[in-house]
Structure 1
Amino acid sequence: MERIRITLAALAVYLGAALSAVAAPQLVMVERDGCHWCETWNEVIGPIYPLTPEGKFAPLQRADIHDGAPDGMQFARAVSFTPTFILMEEGDEIGRIEGYPGEDLFWMMLEKLLKDKTDYGAGS
């Protein structure tokens, strides 16, 4: 009986973590091979993104433009340009940035998107 209780408790913790990961905002970068602007983003922003407050709040997931939305996610409309950054919550698109406008504008647009569409920055 004790073994069953421990197993159920472990399962509850695992499922809780999995559900919170799905519910947490994610940023999906839709890219394609040979995309100059994707490569530029990957060189300039890619290495630091996970270390930033934005990256910690909305972790990056990548998707190829030819593959569509990642499993368990649904885009509101087709992606026409790369890179396109799609803000997802609970598997649904809640906003996007089309193209890479350069480092400064990217951060400004991402911060605005996060503040407008999520509770990002609410606790600060």
Structure 2
Amino acid sequence: MLAQPGCAWCLRFDEEIAPGYPHTAEGRRAPLRRVDITEPWPGDLAGIAPERLTPTFVLLADDGTEVARLRGYPGDNFFWPLLGEMMEKLGPAPAM
């Protein structure tokens, strides 16, 4: 999740989705990592294009390549279906 201080939509995501996200199948498969876009870009994300719009959700494959990107937070009713479409691009979840 690309975020920045003062982002009202980031705050809304934090209130509506973030508390339960780690407890979902999506959260276990794609843990949420926050990157502050006002700070230096992390070295391990050198191959990922930065973004000005926050929040932006960037889904990475295990090898660190970008699979999908969701710009903005569309609200809780739309976030989950859009995240589902992103997750489908990863392919089937590994067997547990």
Matches within 5 A, 1:23-62: 29-62=1-34
Work out which of the two has the higher radius of gyration on C-alpha atoms and give 1 or 2: 1
Matches within 5 A, 1:105-120: 105-115=78-88, 117-120=89-92
The match for 2:71 is: 98
Q: TM-score, normalised by structure 1?
A: 0.68
Matched, 1:87 2:59: yes
Q: TM-score, normalised by structure 2?
A: 0.86
Percent identity for Structure 1 against Structure 2 = 39
Distance 1:96 1:112 in 2: 11
Per-residue deviation, 1:92: 1.9
The match for 1:10 is: none
SS of 2:82's equivalent in the other structure is: helix
More helix, by proportion: 1
Distance 1:56 1:69 in 2: 25
After superposition, the CA RMSD in angstroms is: 1.7
Query: Which ranges of structure 1 fall in alignment gaps of 5 or more residues?
Result: 1-28
SS of 2:33's equivalent in the other structure is: strand
Compare relative contact order (CA 8 Å, sep 6+) and give the higher one, 1 or 2. Answer: 2
The one-letter code matched in structure 1 to 2:30 is: A
For residues 79-98 of structure 1, what are the alpha-carbon distances to aligned partners after superposition, in whole Å with 9 as ceiling and x for unaligned? 02000000012122121000
Distance 1:114 1:122 in 2: 13
Per-residue deviation, 1:68: 5.5
The one-letter code matched in structure 2 to 1:51 is: H
Relative to structure 1, is the Cα distance of residues 64 and 102 closer, same or farther in structure 2, using a 3 angstrom cutoff? same
SS of 1:105's equivalent in the other structure is: helix
